[in-house]
């Protein structure tokens, strides 16, 4: 009994060390990732579920003029066609959120890249900085199926 318990604990420790866990929040010149997750909009009858990336960033520099931001979210269905969001950050902003458009399928237990582009001009020609964060998606398969999320 004691030997089995020790073996079980050792396997748990090895698994914990081998599994990288969620990505650490990234700090860049302009931003710090405060959170990176997914919102699920599902139907408990298992039909037409959808989800989106939801990110929160803290601005590290004072925003004295409007900034123009583009956020690229890795598309689980096609890495060559990222999902994106564009918006403005008003002077005085210290924290902002970014959400992707809704998607209907995802690869479970995978990491997805989110890249933020910060520009000084509305035409997005004067790049001030970038910020990249990996976001892990890991949910029980049964839950995803229950809410109608298609697994890739």
Give residue-wise pLDDT tens across range 56-95: 999 999 999 999 999 999 999 999 999 999 999 999 999 9
Give residue-wise pLDDT tens across range 24-59: 989 999 999 999 999 998 766 767 889 999 999 999
Q: What is the DSSP string of the chain?
A: -HHHHHHHHHHHHHHHHHS--SPPPPB-SSEEEEEEEEEEE--TTSSS-EEEEEEEEEESS---S-EEEEEEE--TT-TTS-EEEEEEE-TT--EEEEEPPPBSEE-TTEEEEEEEEEESSTTS-SEEEEEEEEEEE---HHHHHHTTPEE-
Give residue-wise pLDDT tens across range 92-135: 999 999 999 999 999 999 999 999 999 999 999 999 999 999 99
Where do the domains of the chain lie? Answer: 23-151
Architecture of domain 23-151: Sandwich (2.60)
Give residue-wise pLDDT tens across range 14-27: 333 344 566 798 99
């Amino acid at each position: 009994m004691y030997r089995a318990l020790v073996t079980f604990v050792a396997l748990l420790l090895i698994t914990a060390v081998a599994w990288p866990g969620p990505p650490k929040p990234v700090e860049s010149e302009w931003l710090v990732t405060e959170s990176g997750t997914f919102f699920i909009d599902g139907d408990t009858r298992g039909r037409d579920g959808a989800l989106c990336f939801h990110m929160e960033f803290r601005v590290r520099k004072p925003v004295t003029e409007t900034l123009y931001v583009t956020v690229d979210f890795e598309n689980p269905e096609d890495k060559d066609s990222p999902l994106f969001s564009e918006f403005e950050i008003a002077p005085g902003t210290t924290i902002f959120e970014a959400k992707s458009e809704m998607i209907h399928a995802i690869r479970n237990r995978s990491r997805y890249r989110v890249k933020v582009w910060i520009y000084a001009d509305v035409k997005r020609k004067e790049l001030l900085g970038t910020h990249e964060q990996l976001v892990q998606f890991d949910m029980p398969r049964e839950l995803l199926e229950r809410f109608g999320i298609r697994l890739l």
